Amino acid sequence: MSVLKRVQQWATFARIWHVYDAAWQNPFQSAELLKKYLMGMYKPIYHPSNDCGDHVIVINSAEIALPGDEWKKRVYFHHTGYPGGATWTLAWDLHSKDPTMVPAVYNSMDGNLKRRYTMERLHIFPDSNVPKDLMANVSNQIRQIRPMPKRLDHYPEQQVKEFPKVIDYPKDYVVR
């Protein structure tokens, strides 16, 4: 194989490592996005029997955001198989016990035999401390879906003061 062909072969078939910052992202929207990278669906050489999935490292999984009151109301069901083995776990309860466990990605995939192997290629970390040998492989960052909001106390004071004001207080108003 010529040098150019060798490089082209390597570039097409190599397994790429991506990194994704899950802070303030909806896990279900992120799952739809990450599923494509994990299964290799974005590649022109994709085929279900062609092992072309990529690795994805998810960081800050402890900071994921759910809409409205879903933290309180979403439940995950698990049955051990034994009688009386049914458990309903609330989303916040599950997240506080294990922030790396996000059932969204697993549930978004088709329930075939490949699913377990594809999930092995997903690495989730609760904060940004990732082992160095894993980060050394990473060559792409996946763009976030939702913009990250900024807290009011993280803005510099000068910027808050100089921001264009929509309304002004009335003349006889006592500022509390």
Q: Binding residues for other proteins, per CB under 8 A?
A: 23-24, 26, 63-68, 71-72, 90-92, 95-96, 146-147, 149-153, 155, 159-176
Q: What is the radius of gyration, based on Cα positions, of the chain? A: 22
Q: How far is the CB of 43 from other proteins (least distance, A)?
A: 32
Q: How far is the CB of 13 from other proteins (least distance, A)?
A: 38
Closer to other proteins by CB, 133 or 162: give it. 162
| 8 Å CB contact between 142 and 16 | no
Closer to other proteins by CB, 133 or 168: give it. 168
DSSP-assigned beta bridge partners for residue 123: 57
Q: How far is the CB of 67 from other proteins (least distance, A)?
A: 6
Q: How far is the CB of 24 from other proteins (least distance, A)?
A: 6
Closer to other proteins by CB, 68 or 83: give it. 68
Alpha-carbon separation of residue 7 from 17, 40, 52 (angstroms): 18, 20, 17
Alpha-carbon separation of residue 41 from 26, 47, 54, 67, 105 (angstroms): 21, 8, 10, 28, 15
